[in-house]
Amino acid sequence: MDAELVARLDALQRRLDYVVERQRWTESLIEEMTPVVREALTAVSGPLAAAEARGWFAAARELGGLADRLVEAYGPDQMHELADHLARIFDTVKSFTRPEVLELAQDAAEVLDHADDVEPMGFSGAIRVMRDAEVQRGVAVALELLRHLGQAHEPGPPRPDAAPVSPGTPPPGVPRPVPRAPAPASAPAPAADEVVTWRGHAFTPEGFLVDPSTWTEELAEQVAQALGIALTEEHWAVLRWARADYLDQGASPNVRRVAAGSQVGIRRMYELFPRTPGKTTAMIAGIPKPVGCV
Amino acid sequence: MRELLILGGGTAGTMMANKLVRALPDGWRITVVDRDDRHVYQPGLLLLPFGTYTARELARPRGGLLDPDVRYIVSGIHRIVPDERRVVLDDDTILRYELLILATGAHLHPERTEGMLGPGWRRDVFDFYTLEGSEALGARLDAWGGGRVVVNLVDMPIKCPVAPLEFAFLADAFFEERGVRGKTEIVYATPLDGAFTKPVASATLGGMLEARGIELATEFAAESVDGDAGVLRSYDGRELPFDLLVTVPLHGGSPAVVRSGLGDPAGFVPTDRHTLLSRDQDRIFVLGDATDLPLSKAGAVAHFQGDVLLANVLRWIEDRPLLPGFDGHANCFIETGHGKAMLIDFNYETEPLPGRFPLPGIGPFTLLEESHTNHLGKLAFRWVYWNVLVKGQELPMDARMSMAGKWR
Ligand SMILES: Cc1cc2nc3c(=O)[nH]c(=O)nc-3n(C[C@H](O)[C@H](O)[C@H](O)COP(=O)(O)OP(=O)(O)OC[C@H]3O[C@@H](n4cnc5c(N)ncnc54)[C@H](O)[C@@H]3O)c2cc1C
């Protein structure tokens, strides 16, 4: 057979595979549901966040009782069967007292009710049974739930008796973290009261320089001395590489990266900067604590 | 024909090819290259050793996942030559390109830890990041009668950074259900100074280890494995004896990237964190685990990057300025055992916080808190992965992170 024919047969085979694949996995469901769900999310996220910010949920939590009423509607056996996830949702649902939210809860409960043949799952036993059919159904249930959520009306103005306390607001007296200009992701901003001043420079309680741009070689000598390290040219090569890498990357390198980049090797790093070479290097080089990124 | 070449047909490459084939103007052809025709659903590798899945359920031919209008070549990639805009395959075939997307993922390097591939390998020393490793570990766990288990990640970055923690939680639950937890010690050894990287999540997860009686060894930088003696040693001279070592080997970039001189010291490609263009090459975009970005190496991240990359590839073709759209959005489910899971959601600037997701105040998923719904979510993710994510379909979620519903 000539090569072109083989190639064409091959392409045909793939096209067939693809068609079979498409049928086996019911994409159409997702295709149809996606715009609906996306809309529902957009419609509902904003108002709910606003509601939360205004303290409705916090206020409602104080009132309580709603969940008990909802839970009474189900027998204990049913509740058991519905497993944790229902209880979890009720837990949250109990926060709502507004009528449309109640309606919504009702809908949600109905939707989930149809899921009541989902067994509570022991770890090794039941998940093994969770084959595709169930998982698909799980997705369908979730999507259906979201559709109902999407029908919730936009909340009106806050109720006069709602306490205007947002769970996101710290109690008075606790200073908020200082907002910062865009900074490397790896350096969490210390709260204002968490800064230690040493030799005229601000450090985190762990000993990392707060503002890397205020670093000087003299400061490095002082920090190293305080840590019991006498800096040699070999140390300096490492420190310079780490600092340059931080300035380039916006994130402090970890020990392996410094060892590779400055070509000293990990073993030697432990000799030069004993115990915690990655952190010690960062402390002396005046850059934030290296964190492996999540 | 104008050539858009995608190197790597894993999560990111497959997803991107399927997205682009629907969006590119006429006159463009998309080619994907990968070394084999087996696409593994990697998140399933965590659950495989505990009998949740079989190996067969986790792998599919790559060809069937790619749109038929995408050309697919099975071959090792030898080298990229950016100055000449060509890629050399292992059999010396040359592919030319006008635009290149690097999606070559991360490569595991067990050989870089002394002794890891020595006498105990796949007998007492296992990884669960490969299909073969995960399957072999499953057989070992099935026959487990008690002893000391050390779970260790050699160093960051790794794919799905919570996976080793999840493994520890799942192992705890698994041994308990098998009635051998009392005869089993579990130690979690990490090079980090806590259970996890970001402070709020680290405190929560650390507490969970403690509650489960899992010993935590921090700042443990693994240097060598002695498979015969059953000892894991660190650079600072600490020793952890084990009967079973479950390790996450060192990660690096693809050898093809390293050979081409496009990587940083670890082999990851310097990438603009907002536009996803290579920082050194103006015809190369980088996606997924292959980047050097300070982010989780996770499929969810590749997905969120995909939306931004799609817009930027089209802009690049039309010669318009690129959008700095990517905010580092990532989220992941964390299996905690006994049919429960947690969910975390974060980006470059914001660490994981408690709250509800994706609907503020409602959920149904709970952030930084265990629930059964989350576990169902994780299981449902496999279906979503094959049918939505790698197919390049939209997910009902915005690529940008929302602070709504999160508590500080
Ligand atoms: C145990 C485990 C659990 C995980 N859990 C989760 C989770 O719960 N959620 C989540 O979002 N993510 C999870 N992940 C991470 C997720 O799987 C990866 O982040 C994702 O697959 C990255 O996609 P990618 O396309 O960048 O890399 P990959 O999917 O790894 O693809 C890279 C491809 O490039 C090819 N390639 C590389 N070099 C060459 C070469 N020289 N020649 C030819 N081909 C080459 C490889 O063969 C490979 O197919 C998990 C990973 C693991 C290992």
Question: Do B116 and B212 have their domain in common?
Answer: yes
Give residue B206's identity as a one-letter amino acid code: G
Ligand 1 centroid–CA B105 distance in Å is 5
> Bigger pLDDT: B259 or A6?
B259
- Provide the domain count of chain B: 3
Preceding omega of B364 cis (within 30 degrees of 0): yes
Check residue A47 and give its pLDDT.
57
Per-residue pLDDT at B177 exceeds 50:
yes
Beta-carbon pairs below 8 A across chains A and B: 224
Q: Do A85 and A137 share a domain, yes or no?
A: yes
Rounded average pLDDT over B263-276: 93
| Minimal-distance CA residue of chain A relative to B154 | A256
* A38 CB within 8 Å of a chain B CB: yes
- Say what the pLDDT of residue B380 is: 66
Residue type, B330: A
Q: What is the mean pLDDT of residues B33-41?
A: 96
Query: Do B64 and B76 fall within a single domain?
Result: yes
pLDDT tens figures, B205-221: 888 899 999 999 999 99
Can you tell me the mean pLDDT for B32-57?
A: 92
Q: Taking CA atoms, what residue in B is nearest to A121?
A: B339
Atom of ligand 1 nearest to the CA of B254: 38
d(CA B19, CA B11): 12
**Which residue of chain A has the CA closest to B352?**
A294
Query: Are residues B124 and B103 part of one domain?
Result: no
Contacts of B400 in chain A (CB under 8 A): none
Q: What is the pLDDT of residue A9?
A: 64
Q: Does residue B324 fall inside a structural domain? A: no
Assess whether pLDDT exceeds 90 at residue A12. no
Best of A19, A123, A134, A165 to mutate (most B CBs within 10 Å, chain B): A123
pLDDT tens per residue across span B95-141: 999 999 999 999 999 999 999 999 999 999 999 999 999 999 999 99
| pLDDT at A155 exceeding the cut of 70 | no
Percentage of chain A exceeding pLDDT 90: 23
Measured in residues, chain B has a length of: 408
Residue B112: how many other CB atoms lie within 10 Å = 15
Residue B24, domain member (yes or no):
yes
Distance separating alpha carbons of residues B288 and B238, to the nearest angstrom: 35
Alpha-carbon distance of B254 to B239, in angstroms, equals 31
Q: Which residue has the higher pLDDT, B278 or A11?
A: B278
By Cβ distance, the residue of A120, A142, A255 closest to B221 is: A255
Per the residue annotation, which of A1, A3, A174, A293 is the catalytic one? Answer: A293
The residue among B301 and A94 whose pLDDT is bigger is B301
Which is it for the CA torsion A284, A287, A288, A294, positive or negative? negative
Q: What is the mean pLDDT of residues A244-265?
A: 90
Range B299-305 contact pairs with CB under 8 angstroms and sequence separation of 24 or more = B299/B11, B299/B12, B299/B42, B299/B43, B299/B385, B299/B389, B300/B330, B300/B331, B300/B332, B301/B329, B301/B330, B302/B11, B302/B12, B302/B15, B302/B103, B303/B15, B303/B389, B303/B395, B304/B329, B304/B330, B304/B399, B305/B12, B305/B276
Classify residue B404: in a domain, yes or no: no
Alpha-carbon distance B308 to nearest alpha carbon in chain A (angstroms):
18
> Tell me, what's the pLDDT at A78?
44
Same domain? For A81 and A142 the reply is yes
- pLDDT greater at residue B404 or residue B198: B198
Given CB atoms, is A81 within the 8 Å cutoff of chain B?
A: no
β-strand pairing of B284-286 with B355-359 = unpaired
Q: How far is the CA of B42 from the centre of ligand 1 (A)?
A: 7
What is chain A's mean pLDDT, rounded? 62
> Residues enclosing ligand 1, CB less than 6 A?
B 8-13, 34-35, 42-43, 45-46, 76-77, 103-105, 128-129, 159-160, 163, 254-256, 288-290, 297-300, 302, 332-333
Phi, psi (deg, nearest 5) at residue A65: 80, -35
Q: How far is CA A27 from CA B178, B386, B388, in A?
A: 38, 10, 8
Q: What does the pLDDT average to over B52-81?
A: 93
Of A107 and A270, the one with more pLDDT: A270
Residues B278 and B301 in one domain: yes
Q: Considering only residues 255 to 284 of chain A, which have any Cβ-Cβ distance to chain B shorter than 8 Å?
A: 255-257, 260-261, 266-267, 269-270, 274-276, 279
- Chain mean position to CA A223: 35
Q: What's residue A148's pLDDT? A: 55
Are A52 and B361 within 8 A, CB to CB?
Answer: yes
Burial of B225 (0-12, 13-18, 19+ CB in 10 A): buried
What are the tens digits of pLDDT across the range A185-195?
344 444 445 78
pLDDT score for A208: 92
State the pairing for strand pair B71-74/B363-367: unpaired
Strands across the sheet containing B363-367: B330-337, B340-346, B363-367, B355-359
Q: A18 CA distance to ligand 1 centroid (A)? A: 22
Same domain, A62 and A91: no
The string of pLDDT tens digits covering residues B335-392 is 888 888 877 777 767 767 777 666 665 566 777 778 777 777 677 677 778 877 888 8
Q: Which of B284, B317, B350 is the last residue of a domain?
A: B317
Residue in B160, B286, B296 to alter for ligand 1 test, most ligand atoms within 8 A of Cβ: B160
What CATH number does residue A235 fall under?
A: 1.10.10
> pLDDT class for B237, splitting at 50, 70, 90?
very high
The rounded Å distance from CA B40 to ligand 1 centre is 8
- Output the domain CATH number for residue B192: 3.50.50.60
Query: pLDDT band at residue A70, thresholds of 50, 70 and 90?
Result: very low
My answer on whether A207 and A281 are in the same domain is yes
Q: Is residue B396 part of a domain?
A: no
A73 and B CB contact within 8 Å:
no
Contacts of B241 (CB under 8 A, 6+ apart): B148, B229, B230, B231, B232
Mean pLDDT in residue range A266-275: 92
Burial degree of A87 (CB within 10 A; 0-12, 13-18, 19+): middle
φ/ψ of residue A16, rounded to 5: -65, -50
* pTM check: above 0.90: no
CA distance, residue A275 to nearest chain B CA (Å): 6
DSSP state of A232: -
pLDDT at B158 over 90: yes
Residue A178 lies in a domain: no
ipTM of the complex: 0.72
Q: Which of A52, A124, A267 sits opposite B174 (nearest CB)?
A: A124
% pLDDT > 90, chain B: 67
Q: CA B200: distance to chain centroid?
A: 22
Nearest by CB to residue B52, choosing from A128, A142, A261, is A128
| 8 Å CB contact of A294 and B352 | yes
Domain that holds residue B233: 110-251
Pairing of strands B28-34, B77-81: unpaired
Asked if residue A61 is part of any domain, the answer here is yes
- CB of A46 within 8 Å of a chain B CB? The answer is yes
Question: DSSP per residue over B175-220, as a string?
Answer: HHHTT-GGGEEEEEE-SSSSSSSSHHHHHHHHHHHHHTT-EEE-S-
Q: Which of A85, A269, A274 sits opposite B372 (nearest CB)?
A: A85
Structural domain span for residue A89 = 74-113+125-150
Residues B50, A126 contacting (CB under 8 angstroms): no
- Residues B246 and B137 grouped into a single domain: yes
Let me know whether B247 and B257 are in one domain. no
Q: Which long-range contacts (CB under 8 A, 24 or more apart) does A145-148 make?
A: A145/A108, A145/A111, A145/A112, A145/B364, A146/A36, A146/A37, A146/A40, A146/A41, A146/B359, A146/B396, A147/A33, A147/A36, A147/A37, A147/A40, A148/A104, A148/A107, A148/A108, A148/A111
pLDDT over threshold 70, residue A239: yes
* C-alpha dihedral sign at B195, B197, B199, B200: negative
Tell how far the Cα of B295 is from the centroid of ligand 1, in angstroms: 14
Q: Same structural domain for residues B53 and B182?
A: no
Q: Does pLDDT of A99 surpass 60?
A: no
In chain A, the number of structural domains is 3
If asked whether residues B128 and B219 sit together in one domain, one would say yes
Whether A22 sits among the annotated catalytic residues: the reply is: no
In a domain, B256, yes or no: yes
**Are A188 and B170 within 8 A, CB to CB?**
no
Same domain, A12 and A82: no
Query: In this structure, is residue B365 part of a structural domain?
Result: yes
Q: How many angstroms separate the CA of residue B100 from the nearest CA in chain A?
A: 23
Report the number of secondary-structure helices (H) and strands (E) in chain B: 9, 24
Residue A124 has its nearest CB partner, among B177, B250, B376, at B177
CA-based R_g, chain A, Å: 29
